[in-house]
Amino acid sequence: MRLIDWNSLDAEGRRNALARPPRRSDAAVGDVVREIFDDVQARGAAAVSDWSRKLDGYAPRRIAVTADAVAAARRALPPSATHAIRIASENVRIFHQATRPEDSAFIETTPGVLSQLAWRPIRSAGLYVPGGTAPLFSSLLMLAIPAQVAGVGRRIAVTPPSGDGEPHPAMIVAADEAGLEELWLLGGAQAIAALTFGAAFDDGEIQPVDKLFGPGNAWVAEAKKQAAALPGGPAVDMPAGPSELLIIADRDADPVLAAADLLSQAEHDTDAQVLLVSESRANLEAILAEVTLQLHGLPRADIARLSLAEGRAILVESAAQACEVANLYGPEHLAIQTEDAGELVALISAAGAVFVGANAAETLGDYAAGPSHVLPTDGAARTLGGVTTASFMTSMTIQMASEAGARQLAPVAARLARLEGLEAHARAADLRADQG
């Protein structure tokens, strides 16, 4: 990680200090994804299978989440693991049920004119669950359970095959906890293409979905972007690419805890990015030294090292300036490890999830606290939030008017319509004003 004095930088230097890893916007990624999309649109399942064999080594495969499959998966895991998955799934369900949007009461703005905000689930959702080098079954819980709570009729979950081409038992158990009936071993941009255009395989069919959800690497993030740009293409939840963590630490922050949290995100992906911001140069240096110590012996140390090469340790002059830096960056995850962490939350306006105080490890949120860990990356947190139950729903207004209410409001609408030069609008209002 590179140590930077924030106040020694000009505007361009500050932009560079907060820049994401360059491969996230590599033109070559976009070109290959476009090639995959064009091929899948033209050849359907055959193209999906060809790209899957080429990139992942295996053809797409449907895994039925049957009672026998679930029982076998549970036997393959220690009881402590299945118990932990159960607790995590319950917490995710509790949080999302409690925060599910409800229809508003009817609001009377003019006597006899009533309006309501109503919520409805979307019809179908494609759920991308990262996998391959690590089976992120936690992401399956964080997507499929909120979708189920929202009432989505069709949930299609896809995840890359592991090295041996078999699903991790925890993925099957998580799918069962989320009430899924099937799981597709299919990853990468070709999975997003299949969810976008549809694909019929020998063992089942993936139908096009209305909205795409889930985090992924640069290829998946680009595929979601291209899918949403298609005429009539699916909506997407947000840019959710490689993981990000920014830690604000004061002079008293525990270097051991801060370093552990930085490494917990750096090990995700070579394109993951971690930032450390503090007003204490001494603690910045202590935390960086601790990162080096803890890096030794990590199973994914090689991945973490490449990620740390894109990391930054930024020296600021105050906690308030640290918050300004955080808001400029707009991190996926923000950890505030300061004595006055609760007070600093009020200064934060751009973060996917905020972890307040040393006890609130980001890892708790990754797995079991309750809120979904599918969060905006690449600065999207400045305008977008993470996945919630509302992400799987759409809102609409319902409007009603009595005869008296229409007579009272119609002249106002007609006057405004004529002011805009829309005579047909005005006449439609006049008809309501003249009745009775």
Close Cβ partners of 186 (under 8 Å, ≥ 6 residues apart): 48, 52, 60, 61, 158, 159, 160, 161, 194, 206
Residues with Cβ within 8 Å of residue 103, at least 6 apart in sequence: 116, 117, 118, 119
In 246-280, where does DSSP find H-type helix? 255-266
Task: Outline where DSSP puts E strands in 240-340.
Answer: 244-249, 273-278, 312-315, 333-337
Q: Per the structure block, which two tokens stand in for 149?
A: 């709570």
Instruction: Give the Cα separation of 417 and 428 in Å (integer).
Output: 10
Backbone Cα Rg of the chain: 25
Confirm whether 324 is a catalytic residue. Answer: no
Q: How many CB atoms lie within 10 A of CB 331?
A: 30
Whether the CB-CB separation of 99 and 393 falls below 8 Å is answered with: no
Catalytic annotation present for 333: yes
* Angle, CA of 193, 195 and 199, to the nearest 5°: 80
Contacting residues for 284 by C-beta, under 8 A, at least 6 apart: 3, 249, 276, 278, 313, 315
Cβ atoms of 242 and 272 within 8 Å: the answer is: yes
Structure tokens at 341: 């962490």
**Residue from 167, 184, 176 nearest 126 by CA:** 184
User: Which CA distances in Å does 370 have to 85, 142, 248, 349, 388?
Assistant: 12, 8, 23, 21, 11
Return the SS3 of 178.
Answer: coil
Catalytic residue (one of 96, 332, 362, 373): 332
| Run of H or E including 214 | none
Q: Which one of the listed residues 96, 168, 268, 333 is annotated catalytic?
A: 333
How far is the C-alpha of 234 from the C-alpha of 155, rounded, in Å?
14
Q: 93 — alpha (psi -120 to 50), left (phi > 0) or beta?
A: alpha
Region of 355 please: left (phi>0), alpha (psi -120 to 50) or beta: beta
Catalytic positions? 332-333
